[in-house]
Amino acid sequence: MLISTYFKEDTNGARAEVHHTNEGYMIEYYDMSGNFMKSETHHGKSLQWAESTAENWALGIKKLNG
């Protein structure tokens, strides 16, 4: 289930979506064209932690590896 979405300010459409799953939280990253880039699972972490991670990516603080 989609919980929240964070958008990059300097692009048109790049976003991170925080989802709740049966195992915990997952973040999906999308590029400016809306194409899926990567997902990260964060089982055992809080919603606040997952949302902060997504927001940090949108602000340019977090970089995606791989």
Model pLDDT for residues 7-53, shown as the tens digit of each residue: 987 767 799 999 999 999 999 999 999 999 999 999 999 999 999 99
> Do the Cβ atoms of 45 and 25 come closer than 8 Å?
yes
Q: What's the token pair of residue 35? A: 């194409």
Q: In this predicted structure, what is the pLDDT of residue 66? A: 64
How many Å apart are CA 45 and CA 3, to the nearest integer? 15
- Residue ranges of domains in the chain: 2-58
